[in-house]
Chains A and B, each alone.
Chain A
């Protein structure tokens, strides 16, 4: 449905090696504006590595990233990439445990806030106004994800499922052009999964976010995604709509060939 549009992000021939292990081997993929794209594959296939490259935490040995039509310089720092409009959540939770839920989400807005250190120290006019505006925006996200009652809870005291949700809130707070979710539903029970799936869909449909997510739960993936890319041992083995992927013999083989999935 988005065929005519230019992809928001294009990764071309990405390769990266870790001490002899080829974690990604000439993988190309595109993310189109407005879609929910899924990256799936068995454990260790290189999915997280791909996200790490997209948001600049790893630098690929080969290949290039084109974001919004512009090629990304080789050594661009992750925070600048975030500032371009790429936000993410982490597979192994990376909340700031010394802060409250609110604090965590406010950090997500750091690139949108501009008052300088002197104005912050005085907490006058601009700085105060900015703080209040952004607080209001964060409250809207808190409402959206229904985490009002844990606003002030220290992140270290949240249960696992809520931590994942706060991470999602933190990523949404950045109002990114591209949202990367690394296994947002891993380890959750059915009910929690449904909640998150609904939030992801709402974020996409109501708020218009472009989303790329990694998920092992095929049911969810087939339900909510527009397009799927399948990785196996660092290579892209298939790409297409959920129906195409379900029928792809290579995918079936990759999944049957491993215990997990």
Chain B
């Protein structure tokens, strides 16, 4: 029998990763996610598993590359500037189709920015900050409990699709404490054998893990195969939550920590007779475009709320496809939109007789 314990999001995520079968962790210190690295330094050796503090994020992601190639469950974690350094490695992991989990506890940017929470790496995470036509699955927790829970599907999805799964949190989720039930969540996914792994070629032919193909038609074919895989993921792996959408005239869309502000805003708006509802994407890629498009059949307008200056906003607009105006409100650089400010924005947009024009 498990009991709820009070721990930080970073620690909950780290412990869940271990319970999800993490075999090797590689990382370089950066705030606001040092608790993950420190937790791993303590717990991984206890479990007889691998922990390495790398000399840089560049090295960390390449250690992940090596570890993943052996077929082991591996991960790294960092925050925004470190994730920027990992982009080359993420592209190579994608090209070589190696499963890996990369955690980004986002902080304020650009540049060194600050160590306060942010959601400004959405473009980088969902568009691929590295080179080439690749995708990473992006999971966005919104509670400490979910920081833990999402680690189980994260590793399974990585193995199932031989893909990089990014867990995109932020400084608040990483640092804050909430009661958490730590369990070994069964995902009941049937995972394919890792017959591509580098385990020594005794008794079989040589395995090669690579991304180079100098022959144009062959690399094109490989790209098409990757695209087909990405379509399958878009078809099958969208996760999203919605509430009060049946009669909602205004739909607020937010993920991660911003979605918690939005929940409060929506319940306060309802008390004031404003028909508001919310959608929270859990997977940022694949994006819940269908769910948003369905809501756009009924809703009069959309409001996207982010700790950025409008990144997921683009995806919401693509999904809404002109059926309704899409508005944005948000703050970045470490600031968090307050319930009052977002509620004011909702009221302003919902003024009777007002013609809503985008932005």
A joins B in a complex: no
Residues of A within 8 A of B (CB): none
Residues of B within 8 A of A (CB): none
